[in-house]
Structure 1
Amino acid sequence: MRISVIVPAYNEEAVLGRCLEALARQSRPAEEIIVVDNNSVDRTAEVAEAFGAYGVRVVREVRQGAVHARNRGFDEAGGDVLGRIDADTMVGPEWVAQLAEAFAADPRTGVRPDAVTGPSWFYDIPLRRAGLAAHRFFCHRLNRLLSGHAMLWGSNMALSRGCWSAVRGHTCAEPGMWEDLDLAVHLNRLGLRVRYVDRLRVPVSARRIGASVRDLYSYLRAWPHTYRLHGQRRAAWGAAVFLLVGLVLLRPCSLLVRAHTPYDGTLSLSRLFRRSSTVSRPLP
């Protein structure tokens, strides 16, 4: 089973190096790692090219947006399994091996999944177990409850090549939606099987949570909007309600993220009162 890993990247020089270092240290190496440079104006491509000896290659996608970068990477990949993470994901050394295991046939039914996904925790904030529990609930369990089908998490997922071939022409590219949720909706409509693997866990950055209320709302409103675009009105209403609840619950977390210094675990008031756009969240 050949495994390709796709990493869409836009201005990610601060975090991409450690992401690729983690992929280079796998107990079961991926056959190829593709970084899709989506019009970066920093050193993203240069950082990625430095890992050429580890099977990393850079492709460029000029159409702006995560969905275009993801699609380009999946189209370029030659593996039987197409893994997908974000540039601020830092996988553990067994992640690729766990992907291979996850795509094995179920011993009870003999059926292989078409896609797999797992949860995440946040490596650059305290209360990591709480973050994992919250991610399990809001990303996976709640979306399954609202929509009636499994969710995919873009920072930690993989599709079989056959699955991608089947769903490729159905994916949407409208702005302001979550591309991983869109993909999950279409997999469900095509009757393709998504396997949630709880032990397939990856740490990701909490930098988005540390944004301003305005920026956080701008990101989260894509949740009900994506359901609405696909005609899932009940799921859209439910997501809208939980979005408002989430904004209230996330506000103290957002302040904690902004004040937290990932390098030494201390809290910094100077970070708390900076403009959110200037608060860099590099890997510790």
Structure 2
Amino acid sequence: MRISVIVPAYNEEAVIGRCLEALVTQTVPADEIIVVDNNSSDRTVEVAEQFSEHGVRVVRETRQGVVYARNRGFDEATGDILGRIDSDTMVGPEWVGRLAEAFATDPKGMPAAVTGPSWFYDIPMRRFGLFAHRLFCHQVNRLISGHPMLWGSNMAVSRECWAKVRDHACTGTGLWEDLDLAVHLHRLGLRVRYVDRLRVPVSARRIGATTRDLYSYLKAWPQTYRRHGQRRAAGGAMVFLLFGLVALRPFSLLVRAHTPYDGTLSLGRLFSRSSSASRPLP
């Protein structure tokens, strides 16, 4: 079973090096690692190409948007299993091995896709972050939609699955491309397996955004369901979105004030007007 790992990247020089370092030091090596550069204007490509001797390949996708970068990576990949993480994901050394195990040992037969939860490596209260991610990303989506969610920072699809869903997946803006893919897999009768032990650490940079920026990102959640005519799920997503903005705001402020380099809290960061994307990362 050959495993390819695809990493879409847009202006990710701050994190892409650590992401790739984690991928090339797996106990069970990936057969192929593809970084899809999506018009980066920083040193993303330069940093990624430093891993070429470890088999990392950089391809370019000029159509802007993570869905186009993801599709290009999946289309370029040669593996039987197509893994997909984000540039700020830092997989543990067992991730590729556990991914292969998840596809090979499912008692219900080989699934079409596999996904798992995340915790946040650059903030305190990591156990709470894992709990919140399980709740809002996976359990809530299953509750309101009746089918599992895919988490773009920690997922994989089989090559056979991608061939079936490729032309159904939506493109464009205003959608969560991973949730969109999960909706289409469900409609095609293709099964997603959630594996709790397939955990990966990711950055909390988006959580530390201003309320306006965080809402701008999260509103794509109900919009994705609405785009597919799932009005009940869209309504449920909006309710949980608004609840989450209020209930998790103290946690968001803590994230915003936290300095990932030394673990201290900074009032200057707390009152900064900068977007979450510009947050310094370890």
Q: Deviations over 1:192-241 (max 9, x none)?
A: 01100000000000000111111100000000000000000000000001
Contact 1:224 1:235 in 2 (8 A): yes
Per the alignment, residue 27 of structure 2 pairs with: 27
Identity among equivalent pairs (%): 79
2:267 corresponds to which residue? 269
| Structure 1 unaligned regions, length at least 5 | none
Tell me the amino acid that sits aligned with residue 171 of structure 1.
A
Q: How does 1:13-162 map to 2 (within 5 A)?
A: 13-107=13-107, 109=108, 111-162=109-160
2:9 counterpart of 1:2: no
Deviations 1:95-136 (A, max 9, x none): 0000000011434x4x11110000000111110000000100
Write out the 4+ residue segments of structure 1 that deviate beyond 4 Å after TM superposition.
Answer: none
Asked whether the equivalents of residues 19 and 88 of structure 1 are also in contact (C-alpha less than 8 Å), the reply is yes
Is contact 1:205–1:281 with CA below 8 Å preserved after alignment?
A: no
CA distance in 2, matches of 1:23, 1:255: 31
Cα deviation for residue 278 of structure 1 reads: 7.5
SS in 2 for 1:83: strand
Q: What TM-score, normalized to structure 1?
A: 0.97
Query: Any conservation in 1 of the 2:65–2:172 contact (CA below 8 Å)?
Result: no
Shift of 1:279: 7.3
In structure 1, C-alpha distance between the alignment counterparts of 2:141 and 2:168, rounded to whole Å: 20
**Kept in 2: contact 1:17–1:48 (CA 8 A):** yes
Is the alpha carbon distance of 1:271 and 1:279 closer, same or farther for their aligned partners in structure 2, counting shifts above 3 Å? farther
Partner-residue secondary structure (3-state), 2:248: helix
Query: Paired residue for 1:235?
Result: 233
Aligned amino acid, residue 256 of structure 2: R
268-277 or 254-263, which moves further after superposition? 268-277
The number of aligned residues is: 282
TM-score (norm 2): 0.98
Q: Structure 1 pair 14/226, CA: closer, same or farther in 2 (3 Å)? A: same
Q: Give 1:171-250 correspondences, 5 Å limit.
A: 171-250=169-248
Do 1:258 and 1:279's aligned partners in 2 also have CA atoms closer than 8 Å? no
* RMSD (Å) for aligned C-alpha atoms: 1.1
